[in-house]
Amino acid sequence: MPYCVKCGSHLKKEDRFCFVCGAATPKVTNEEYNVSGKDVVDKVGQLLHEGNVTRIIVKDESGKTLLEIPVTIGVVGVVVAPWLAALGVVAALVANCKIVVERRE
């Protein structure tokens, strides 16, 4: 579910404008990666360094969401460190994961 970049309100995928503040919604693209449990932390770290990612969702083999990481502009390692620690625990529990990456254009 996308969020408004101006006020943070939840939006529907088909919304072109925020119903709260009226801001135009940017185009959002999704990419999916299938990785093994031991490679999840490395792949998420790589995606975070790319800089144009707005959200990372980690799902198990059945499609159940295990962890959702909101990524904002200017994220530093101290803010991301607890998410990566939690991700390490999740990765230890599952064999294969699907990583869904949201990017705003």
Give the angle 21-27-31 at the CA atoms, nearest 5°. 130
- Type of residue at 42: D
Domains in the chain, CATH or no CATH each: 28-104 (3.30.1490)
Question: pLDDT per residue over 30-88, tens digit each?
Answer: 889 988 877 877 888 788 777 778 888 888 888 888 888 777 644 545 456 666 667 77
Calpha distance 10→104 (Å, rounded): 15
Find the helix or strand (DSSP H, E) in which 56 lies: strand 53-59
The total of other beta-carbon atoms located within 10 Å of residue 25's CB is: 19
In the block, residue with structure tokens 């990372």: 56
Q: pTM, whole model, 2 decimals?
A: 0.66
